[in-house]
């Protein structure tokens, strides 16, 4: 979900650069094997003035990628870069890499050419709530009549841009499977190579309660990639000034007919009004709506009381106290523990120390 958010930030910045008449290049991680800091789809926008946004590694590749981006902006063709540190050499290409993996990065112009032509379509789709696939030709193919950098966006409701008639048809035939799989991958085609980046809309988080302790939670959850909406019966607290990172607000009571909830199957909720009556009402409404996860702030006994009063005994969707056991103290640390649990829920992981994990981190 973080790639959706990062892509939105990159294309918003790209629009600002283009509006000023500036230039920019976009670097995208397109293939990874072994250990690497970022996954396919991670992006780095480099402007003609040398400023950048995003990242393709933990910092070890960026300097070299910026140099290549400068050459692309000066007129060079799009470049597919290969970085290999799997042999154990800590000084590959003089970059001092130590991730022990292979990373491929594609660098292309962003304010000129196919990507620039699709920039507004990128922003439109990232502002919506439906999955789509961004497909880029990493290498040209005379057989397919496709040049390196050709890009198109594919979704259930249609296509933006084109890779050429034959490739458009081939991608469309596999689109449903790619969208369902939700992963970025590379595919050979007619003597060339395609990068398929599937972007699935981020999960929604409904925060019920707009008290002071909700402020750091909303900010941190939004920064982690959730689309956060804040709901509270006190209109004075549900404002953009208090929650600038929130995507939506609702000054309503939980029983209100005017309450609009996001799709339950892609949503989580945290109930934290500090009112037993309101927490009980919110929990009842959210569980009835089909939310798969409802976190309850407060002591275990309080959650048990609410569970019993609304007839939710044995309902595994209700979690309280919400958050991981991090020894958190104060609103900011509590917010970290809550968001950490939300991320574990979304990824289907059991929280533990990474040093205890024998599998690959991103497996």
DSSP codes joined into one string, 159-187: EEE-S-HHHHHHHHHHHHHHHHH---EEE
What confidence score (pLDDT) does residue 57 get? 87
Q: pLDDT tens digit string along 98-125?
A: 556 789 999 999 999 999 999 999 999 9
Half-sphere exposure in the Cβ direction for 52 (13 Å, CA): 19
CA pair distance 351, 258, nearest whole angstrom: 37
Angle at 198 between CA 195 and CA 200, to 5 degrees: 165
Split the chain (363 residues) into runs of 10 and give each run's mean pLDDT.
Answer: 91 96 96 82 94 89 94 94 71 50 92 94 96 94 81 96 91 93 85 91 97 98 96 96 96 91 96 96 97 96 95 95 95 97 94 81 63
CA pair distance 120, 130, nearest whole angstrom: 16
What confidence score (pLDDT) does residue 213 get? 97
Number of Cβ within a 10 Å radius of residue 223: 13
What confidence score (pLDDT) does residue 100 get? 65
* Superfamily of the domain at 204-347: NAD(P)-binding Rossmann-like Domain (3.40.50.720)
What confidence score (pLDDT) does residue 363 get? 59
What confidence score (pLDDT) does residue 266 get? 95
Residue spans per domain, the chain: 1-201, 204-347
Per the confidence metrics, is the pTM higher than 0.85?
Answer: yes
């Amino acid at each position: 979900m973080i790639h959706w958010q990062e892509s939105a930030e990159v294309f918003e910045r790209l629009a600002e650069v283009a509006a000023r008449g500036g230039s920019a290049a976009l670097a995208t991680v397109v293939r990874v094997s072994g250990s690497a800091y970022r996954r396919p789809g991670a992006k780095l926008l480099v402007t003609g003035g040398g400023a950048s946004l995003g990242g393709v590694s933990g910092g070890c590749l960026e300097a070299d990628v910026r140099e290549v981006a400068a050459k692309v902006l000066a007129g060079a063709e799009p470049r597919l870069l290969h970085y290999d540190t799997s042999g154990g050499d800590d000084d590959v290409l003089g970059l001092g890499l130590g991730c022990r993996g292979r990373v491929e990065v594609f660098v292309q112009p962003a304010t000129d050419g196919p990507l620039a032509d699709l920039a507004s379509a990128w922003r439109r789709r990232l502002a919506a709530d439906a999955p789509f696939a961004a497909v880029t030709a990493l290498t040209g193919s005379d057989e397919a009549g496709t040049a390196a950098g050709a890009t198109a966006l594919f979704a259930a409701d249609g296509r933006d841009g084109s890779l050429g008639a034959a490739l458009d048809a081939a991608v469309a035939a596999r689109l449903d499977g790619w969208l369902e799989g939700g992963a970025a991958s590379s595919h050979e085609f007619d003597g060339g190579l395609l990068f398929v980046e599937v972007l699935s809309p981020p999960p929604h988080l409904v925060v019920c309660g707009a008290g002071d302790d909700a402020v750091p939670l909303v900010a941190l959850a939004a920064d982690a990639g959730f689309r956060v909406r804040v709901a509270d019966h006190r209109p004075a607290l549900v404002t953009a000034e208090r929650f600038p990172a929130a995507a939506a607000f609702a000054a309503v009571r939980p029983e209100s007919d005017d309450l609009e909830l996001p799709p339950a199957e892609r949503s989580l909720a945290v109930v934290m009004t500090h009112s037993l009556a309101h927490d009980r009402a919110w929990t009842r409404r959210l569980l009835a709506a089909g939310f798969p996860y409802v976190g309850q702030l407060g002591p275990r006994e309080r959650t048990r009381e609410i569970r019993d009063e609304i007839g939710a005994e044995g309902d595994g969707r209700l979690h309280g106290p919400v958050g991981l056991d991090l020894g958190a103290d104060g609103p900011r640390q509590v917010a970290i523990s809550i968001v950490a649990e939300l991320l574990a829920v979304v990824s289907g992981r059991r929280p533990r120390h990474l040093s205890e994990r024998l599998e690959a981190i991103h497996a």
